[in-house]
Chain A
Amino acid sequence: MGKKLFKAVVQSVQAKSAVSYTDGPGYSDHSVPTHDNYPED
């Protein structure tokens, strides 16, 4: 199951042999649903 996905992951690993960046906390969004995250509408 998931053969096409698996091949895509393998290709991703090969393509990233010279990894250029790591996604940090903001992009991975550790936020929880505080109600202050929205502007007044």
Chain B
Amino acid sequence: MTVEMIKRIFEQIDRLELDQVTISWHGGEPLLFGKNGFREAFEHQRSLKTKFRNVVQTNGILIDDEWVDFFKENGFLVGISIDGDESLHNYNRPLRNGRDSFNLVLRGLNKLVDAGICGGIISVISKKAQAKSYFDFVQSLGVKSFNVKPCNSQWEGSSTPDDFAGFSKELFGLWIENDDPQLDCRTFKGFAENLLGGQANLCHQSGRCSYFMSINTNGDVYPCDELMPSENRLGNVMISSLSDILSSFEWNSFCSKLTTIYSDCKESCPDYDACGGGCTSERLFHGDESYCKGRRSIIASVREWVNANQAELA
């Protein structure tokens, strides 16, 4: 994506006159855009009326002191993608040349932690992952937040929905046993927040899938990066404005589809109060049955924990 395109996107966002907008820089690897590109884009963003919040999800390999200073000075929250300890991470994420990436990622992560700007880690869980060793690793990092995602690609190391549910349930047990309020697991916390009548932050727990747009490097707009490329393309920012896209037939059709999905869930599923509807893409591409089964088994553990603590407080 060019700086000119990003500036154009920011200007289009500004014309929407929203109170606050979060820009989530991700990829691929967003830092490949370069420091000069980030600086120029950010300066332009700052010249506009809209209040922007910036988050970056990166593999951390390119992070150096200059990046850390930039992020810190400009209020960016930075998350690192790291999949577990050295063995596990290197299995999941070799460099293109086949060499290991773990130490390069860890070096970047440590710089962010030392500077106090690490927004946490996100790990893709493959079939080799063990909950206990993963949780020990997370504790060793000094981060305040972590989250896990299933590896559900066509890769040989992918976990099945049952694998991931089993891993997550064990991880949840370790998390509550550790009982450290300074170590947040966003998915578990989100389920609990929903059960307590609050509002989870994660999109797939909030029933608010239509609060986002993802813009590809060529300017194509999708409801979510997980829904590209597909028939869900909404338009292109170099041809149409975001305002036009938001009032388009395609956008309204997508929102209608979401409304149907969430309404069906709400009416038919006893766990909707915790679940919040789940990730649209995972449901569309991987099927309701296996996806919901795993998710509901995790929710059962969270619900039990919430109920026990509520009973104790009553």
Contacts and interface: CB of A to CB of B under 8 A. Distances in A.
Contacts of A32: 124, 151-153, 155, 158
Interface residues of B, number: 72
B141 interface: no
B201 A23 contact: yes
A36 B135 CA distance: 27
Contacts, number: 164
A26 B59 CA distance: 13
A34 B306 CA distance: 37
Interface in A18-40: 19-40
B259 interface: no
A38 B89 CA distance: 13
Nearest to B99: A41
B202 to A, nearest CB: 5
Listed residue (A10, A28, A37) with the most chain B CB atoms within 10 angstroms of its CB: A28
B201 A30 contact: no
B95 A23 contact: no
Nearest to A11: B181
B196 A9 contact: yes
Contacts of B27: 37
Given A29-B79, A38-B61, A40-B97, A13 B197 contact: yes
B29 interface: yes
A3 B189 CA distance: 13
Contact of A4 (B29, B92, B180, B199): B180
Given A6-B306, A8-B181, A21-B22, 11 more contacts: A3-B179, A4-B181, A7-B181, A16-B193, A22-B206, A23-B202, A24-B212, A28-B204, A30-B226, A34-B153, A38-B29
Closest 8 CB pairs of A and B: A2-B176, A26-B24, A13-B198, A8-B181, A26-B26, A24-B212, A29-B122, A6-B309
Interface of B: 20, 22, 24-29, 32, 53, 55, 57, 59, 61-62, 79, 81, 83, 92-97, 99, 101, 104, 119, 122, 124, 126, 147, 149, 151-153, 155, 157-158, 175-177, 179-181, 186, 189, 192-193, 196-199, 201-204, 206, 208, 211-212, 214, 224-226, 279, 281, 305-306, 308-309, 312
